[in-house]
């Protein structure tokens, strides 16, 4: 899993049928020791939103086979999925982020 920040959204009117009903968000990885700092690597990438996250929120993103989105008949291939909206990050007993 990765800690990331939602920086935008991708709008696609035509997409894989298994993705109907899901938003596609643009996220950037963050440094867990300082999530409020500028993006960790500055590279935004798309992720399927399964939890209803919004722009500016800190989220957990999973990748690979764990990011597969279930559809009516099978699992739809995706590379990344937003699976949680983060409330607090604690590193070595110190709160580094609080919503």
Dihedral (CA of 27, 28, 32, 36) sign: negative
Nearest to 26 by CA among 43, 42, 13, 45: 45
As given in the structure block, the two tokens for residue 63 are 């990748």
Residue 70 pLDDT: 57
- Domains in the chain and their CATH numbers? 2-98 (2.40.50.220)
pLDDT given for residue 19 in this prediction = 82
DSSP state of 65: G
pLDDT at 84: 96
Q: Over the stretch 25-82, which tens digit does the pLDDT of each residue have?
A: 999 999 888 877 766 667 899 999 999 999 999 999 998 765 666 554 566 667 899 9
């Amino acid at each position: 899993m990765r800690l990331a920040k939602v920086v935008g959204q991708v709008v696609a009117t035509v997409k894989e049928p298994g993705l109907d009903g899901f938003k596609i968000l643009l996220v950037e990885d963050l440094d867990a020791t300082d999530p409020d700092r500028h993006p960790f690597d500055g590279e935004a990438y798309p992720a399927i939103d399964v939890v209803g996250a919004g722009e500016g929120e800190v989220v957990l993103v999973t990748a690979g086979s764990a990011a597969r989105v279930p559809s009516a008949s099978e699992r739809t291939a995706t590379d990344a999925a937003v699976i949680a909206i983060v409330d607090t990050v604690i590193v070595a007993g110190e709160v580094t982020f609080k919503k």
